[in-house]
Amino acid sequence: MTSSLTLLALNRLVRATIEQTLDDEYWLEAELSEARLNSNGHFYVEFIQKDDSGRTLVAKARGVAWARTYNMIAPLFERATGERLRAGLKVRVLVSVEFHELYGYSLTILNIDPSYTLGDMAARRREILARLEADGILRDNQQLPLPTLLQRIAVVSSASAAGYGDFCDQLLGNDYGLHFHVQLFPAVMQGANVEESVLAALTAICDEADRWDCVVIIRGGGATSDLSDFDTYTLAAAVTQMPLPVIVGIGHERDETVLDYVAHTRVKTPTAAAAFLIDHQAQQLVRLEVLSRRIFQSTSVRLQRARGRLEQLTSTLPRTFVLITERQRHRLDLIQQRQRAALQRQLERDHHRHELLQQRLQILSPERQLRRGYSLTFADGRLLRSAADLPPGTLLTTRLADGEITSTTSAKT
């Protein structure tokens, strides 16, 4: 029967083999998917390598730069590149391979090559952002106005994610008693199906966009290297073209994705997203309270002014009534005087016309004409105007100034 080893014995054998067979130092080219400076000054990282497609991880290792080493290489790197050591950079570092029986395999960073370019993740983000800029849609979502009220929240997240639970709990337990209506549009937030799943959720929200005030994409916890699934042009373009403001909080304080650069509002964590919504609503609440006070004050001032005017009118009303009455009486007197004067003038004009008519009648009266030598001849009682057609023997009466003459017609001459 083959003899067996304890785990400790096996790990010691692995450690001894590594120490005997490997060189003391190696220059390593890899990408930093995590980078964290501890409070004790040690700098912990995670190295990753992807396949040729740039989507699938093929290798991963833990690494550390002890405080003394980090304090020497970090300023050198930042001065040379303008970048701090952070996740997303591709680096070339001098490492020693370590194996500990309890903590396993790790790489100790001894030095760094500042001339090495930014990592593939950062370069890909730059390429995506440049493409969005060329397409003219990079800042479309950022230019949307943020609604005055953010109460109806469409959330894209994993239903089982702790970050989603923290987000909802913080909204529910806010200190202002604000009410939020939250609906989850479930999506896979890590792994190969992130892009397809999140796009489906965003499409579902677009189909009922009038029901929501904003979109929140959140993901809490998990390794930073998993966030590379969010760095795609298709997903970034979908966010820029959303008809609603998009709030993104899909990492930790030190994490970044391309969505952070295209979303309307960028926060670091799900709880930070909830805090943003609460703060926004609280600010609107304060504004409403200020407006309410202004309206109350303005209304009070107007009521006081109206009350003063009413009191003034009440005090001056009797005097005003007397003045109006006197003015009306004076106007009536003037009207009566004018009417009497007009009537008098009309009577005088009528009397004058009457006298003229009498004079004309006297001048044209038959008696006056007869006295002037004229005569009037009547045939059968009718005034004779023509001798035509008078038959012989017609009785005629001729009136003169001093009497009448009776005659009979004979034959025409």
What's the chain's average pLDDT?
Answer: 87
Inter-helix orientation angle 233-240/120-135, to 10°: 40
Task: Check residues 66 and 122 and name the one with the higher pLDDT.
Answer: 66
On the question of pLDDT at 81 being above 70, the answer is no
Lowest mean pLDDT among 54-58, 148-152, 212-216, 289-293: 289-293
Measured in residues, the chain has a length of 413
On the question of pLDDT at 88 being above 80, the answer is no
**Position 127, amino acid:** E
Euclidean distance between CA atoms 26 and 249, whole angstroms:
37
**String of DSSP letters for 194-210:** HHHHHHHHHHHHHTTGG
Coil/strand/helix, residue 179: coil
Decide the pairing of beta strands 152-157 and 43-50. Answer: unpaired
Inter-helix orientation angle 194-206/233-240, to 10°: 20
Mean pLDDT of the 389-404 span: 80
Q: How confident is the model at residue 221 (pLDDT cuts 50, 70, 90)?
A: low
- Residue 245: which residues within 8 A CB-CB, separation 6 or more? 141, 144, 145, 146, 147, 214, 215, 264, 265
Which pair of tokens denotes residue 405?
């003459």
Mean pLDDT of the 11-16 span: 93
Euclidean distance between CA atoms 112 and 110, whole angstroms:
7
Per-residue pLDDT at 253: 60
Mean pLDDT of the 135-157 span: 96
Whole-prediction pTM value?
Answer: 0.52
On the question of pLDDT at 272 being above 80, the answer is yes
Single out the residue of 359, 399, 400, 369 nearest to residue 382, CA to CA: 399
Alpha-carbon distances of 346 from 90, 337, 349, 353, rounded to whole Å: 117, 14, 5, 11
Helices and strands: H and E segment counts in the chain: 9, 14
Mean pLDDT of the 128-153 span: 96
| Cβ count near 177 (within 10 Å) | 7
Of the chain, the percentage scoring pLDDT greater than 70 comes to 93
Single out the residue of 191, 222, 198 nearest to residue 33, CA to CA: 222
Euclidean distance between CA atoms 215 and 156, whole angstroms:
7
On the question of pLDDT at 224 being above 90, the answer is no
Q: Which of 75-79, 278-282, 344-348 has the highest mean pLDDT?
A: 278-282
Coil/strand/helix, residue 321: helix
Per-residue pLDDT at 226: 63
Widest Cα–Cα separation across the chain: 194
Euclidean distance between CA atoms 235 and 229, whole angstroms:
10
Single out the residue of 151, 128, 138, 129 nearest to residue 216, CA to CA: 151
| 10-19 burial code (b ≥16 CB/10 A, e <16) | ebeeeeeeee
pLDDT in tens, 24-64: 999 999 999 999 999 999 999 999 999 988 788 999 999 99
Q: How confident is the model at residue 273 (pLDDT cuts 50, 70, 90)?
A: very high
Structural domains present in the chain: 7-118 (2.40.50.140), 123-283 (3.40.50.2300), 370-408 (no CATH)
Single out the residue of 166, 18, 23, 169 nearest to residue 94, CA to CA: 23
Phi first, then psi, for residue 379 (nearest 5°) are -120, 120
- Beta-bridge partners for 99: 105
Which pair of tokens denotes residue 317?
């009303």
Decide the pairing of beta strands 43-50 and 26-37. Answer: antiparallel
Decide the pairing of beta strands 152-157 and 214-218. Answer: parallel
On the question of pLDDT at 280 being above 90, the answer is yes
Per-residue pLDDT at 117: 46
Q: Quick one: which H or E segment has residue 111?
A: strand 104-112
pLDDT in tens, 363-385: 767 777 677 777 778 887 787 77
Q: How confident is the model at residue 358 (pLDDT cuts 50, 70, 90)?
A: confident
Euclidean distance between CA atoms 366 and 33, whole angstroms:
142
Euclidean distance between CA atoms 227 and 34, whole angstroms:
10
Q: How confident is the model at residue 3 (pLDDT cuts 50, 70, 90)?
A: confident
